[in-house]
Amino acid sequence: MNIQRLKEIREDKDLYQKDIAKIIDVTQQQYNKYELGINSIPIEKLDKLANFYNTSVDYLIGRTNERKPYPKAK
C-alpha cells in the first residue's frame, strides 16, 4: 500500500489528520497509524476516503496513478 499517498492527498486539501479521522469515523491516533502504515485500513474506510477525495481506492493504495474515479456502475 502506498501510505505516502494518503498523507499527500490529505495535505493537498490542506486538511489535518483529525479532519479525515472524523470523516471516516476513527480517532486521530488510529488515522495516524493508517498514514504510517502501522495498521491496515478497512475497506469501508478506504471507500469513504475514495468518495471524499473523489478518486478510486486503487489510486489511494497505489495500484494506479490515475487520480480520477472510475465511472459509477449502473
Domains (range + CATH), the chain: 3-60 (1.10.260.40)
DSSP characters over 2-62: -HHHHHHHHHHTT--HHHHHHHTT--HHHHHHHHHTSSPPPHHHHHHHHHHHTS-HHHHTT
- Cell numbers linked to 51: 468518495
Determine the residue type at 37.
Answer: G
- Per residue in 17-63, pLDDT (tens digit) is 999 999 999 999 999 999 999 999 999 999 999 999 999 999 999 99
- Per residue in 50-71, pLDDT (tens digit) is 999 999 999 999 999 988 888 7
pTM of the full structure: 0.87
